[in-house]
Amino acid sequence: MSQELWRKPAHELAALIRAREVSSREVVDCHLARIEAVNGPVNAVTVTLAETARAAADQADRSEPRGPLHGVPFTIKENIDCTGSATTQGLTAMAAALPAVDAPVVERLKAAGAIPLARTNLPEMGLRIATDNALRGRTNNPWDLTRTCGGSSGGEGAALACGMSPLGLGNDIGGSLRNPAYCCGITALKPTTGRIPLAWSLAPNMGIAFRLMAVEGPMARSVADLRLALALMAGWHPRDPFSVSAPLQGPWAPRRAALATAIPGCTLPPATVAAIRRAGAVLRAAGWTVDEVTPPELERVNEVWGQILARDIEDMLPVLRTVMSAGAVATVEALGRHFDAAALPGGSRFVERDRLAQAWSAFFVDWPVVIGPTWTDLPFLHDADLDPVSGLDTTLGRLRFITPGNLLGLPAVALPMDVTDGLPSGVQIYAERWREDLCLEAASVIEAAVGTRAPIDPVI
């Protein structure tokens, strides 16, 4: 069995370890061997924590279970603090930036018995939807090495897709959990803003956009693992005074789902439309009411999201220019020019945010779940997002249904569906703030019918 342990989801590994059918050391060694075998062409894992992981596994095997993930390894994006390894932000300048404390999400998974296994790659400062940097190099999509794995949690997405890890930690201010989930054929949960505490001891100040729109969350290969990780990671933490301990199960809601098959400003690929409609058909067969309905003011949502993010990035540019590559800096400079500050000056950005949040809350009364695309186009060829003419459109065009989650603080699940022409397709499931339970319920029903798409061997 030990040779196949890398194929199993985290909750199954936890059950096997609790029952002493396998040891934690076997699980850790199996995943380290898998990293050694397949990481080369993908370059998802940047650093293995082999010595400490094996020691923790041996201790777990000598101990009574500490929690629901006792003895199970997990991986951590390199902009999340994990003591004993650098929080690099994908920057050469931070290659030796060792945190004094764990991030709250790492602290909580450790308390549940989980074991840090390795660190994973990201773009510089997490400011691309592709994953590449001068310090660690490029992470490739395991389904097609010529294409992006997504970003900014791209290393996590590729590692999970290849069985190098059963559970990962990433973060999201513009789809950075959901983008790689879509590109790599795995699943991810972007929680309600404030549901999971967010604190970086070494991160530069990201301003109001960071506080309003950024979250940390789990990435996995099964909805059950997302549900388990959410329960372990959620709740108030003193290092994040804006975090909230809110019930994980909300009141009854009608089983009604809106399908967003037409996104303003773009034409969705046929495989994406087919995936959305297949998800709707599964829910309809399970007794849900399903119809094709477009949520409110998507173009305005994209504009306000971009305005808030661009203003913060402009404030950071003097620092970014000293630590980031020329191509990455040019991309974020283009973002500022695209979202002209004069179009939404001062506090008007936040007035519009509130108005749009009210419109979406009213929509959720009639349609508690909304299913649409994750990206509105296919994973692009490497560096297409850096093209000085078309790169910004390459990025912003794909995020047309990503931005509601960040601007409005909504929970979302990115769920793989099919494989078309060698690439995974998927859907994104939204619900009202604090209703992760509805996202996960719909995702569970769909996953039970369509199955999962990973792990895979890299397609070389």
* Confidence category of residue 200, pLDDT binned at 50, 70, 90: confident
> Residue 43 region, left (φ>0) first, then alpha (ψ -120 to 50), else beta?
left
Average pLDDT estimate for 41-54: 98
C-alpha angle 175-177-178 in degrees, rounded to nearest 5: 60
Predicted confidence (pLDDT) per residue in 360-374, tens digit: 999 999 999 999 999
Please give the residue that has the higher pLDDT: either 200 or 249.
249
Report in angstroms the alpha-carbon separations of 307 from 22, 172, 331, 339, 347: 51, 17, 15, 5, 11
Domain limits for position 438: 2-245+253-450
Give yes or no for residue 54 having a pLDDT over 80. Answer: yes
Q: Is the Cα torsion angle 288, 292, 297, 301 positive or negative in sign?
A: positive
Burial of residue 236, with CB atoms counted within 10 A of its CB: 0-12 exposed, 13-18 middle, 19 or more buried: middle
The band of 203, judged by pLDDT with boundaries at 50, 70 and 90, is low
Decide which of 4 and 76 is more confident.
Answer: 76
pLDDT at 202: 75
Domain presence at residue 386: yes
Q: How far apart are CA 115 and CA 52, in angstroms?
A: 9
Q: CB-side exposure of 157: number of CA atoms within 13 Å?
A: 37
Confidence of residue 207 (pLDDT cuts 50, 70, 90): confident
- Catalytic residue IDs: 77, 152, 176
Count of helix runs (H) and strand runs (E) in the chain:
15, 13
What CATH number corresponds to the domain at position 408? 3.90.1300.10
Instruction: Say whether pLDDT at 205 is over 70.
Output: no
456 located within any domain: no
Residue 347 lies in a domain: yes
Q: What is the pLDDT of residue 181?
A: 99
Q: For a pLDDT cut of 90, what percent of the chain falls above it?
A: 97
459 part of a folded domain: no
457 in any annotated domain: no
Q: Of residues 205 and 273, which shows the higher confidence score?
A: 273
Whole-number pLDDT of residue 2: 63
Please determine, for residue 457, whether its predicted confidence score (pLDDT) is greater than 90.
yes
| Contact (Cβ atoms closer than 8 angstroms) between residue 424 and residue 143 | yes
pLDDT at 309 over 80: yes
Q: How many CB atoms lie within 10 A of CB 445?
A: 20
Average pLDDT, stretch 192-200?
96
Q: Does the pLDDT of residue 1 top 80, yes or no?
A: no
CA distances to 179, 296, 343, 439 from 411, in Å? 15, 17, 28, 7
Query: Mean pLDDT over all residues of the chain?
Result: 97
Checking if the pLDDT of 377 tops 60, the result is: yes
**Structural domain includes residue 460:** no
Give the pLDDT confidence of 345-361 residue by residue, as tens digits.
989 999 999 999 999 99
CB 190, CB 411: distance < 8 Å: yes
206 has a pLDDT exceeding 80: no
460 pLDDT tier (thresholds 50, 70, 90): confident
pLDDT average, residue stretch 89-103: 97
Question: What tokens does 380 get?
Answer: 């692009």
pLDDT digits (tens, 9 = 90+) for 166-180: 999 999 999 999 999
Q: Output phi, psi for 147, to 5 deg.
A: -115, 160
* pLDDT, position 409: 98
Cα 346 versus chain centre, distance: 30
Q: Token pair for residue 44?
A: 């998802």
Q: Which of 215, 112, 134 is nearest to 170 (CA)?
A: 215
Contacts of 85 (CB under 8 A, 6+ apart): 47, 49, 76, 98, 116, 119
Residue 458 lies in a domain: no
Flag whether 341 is in a domain: yes
139: which DSSP letter?
A: P
Tokens of residue 108, six digits: 């909580």
Could you identify the residue written with the tokens 């939404």?
344
Task: Please give the average per-residue pLDDT across 130-159, as a whole number.
Answer: 98
Considering its fold, how many domains does the chain have in total? Answer: 1
Q: E-strand spans in 234-368? A: 256-259, 289-292
pLDDT band at 201 (very low <50, low <70, confident <90, very high): confident
pLDDT value for 204: 57
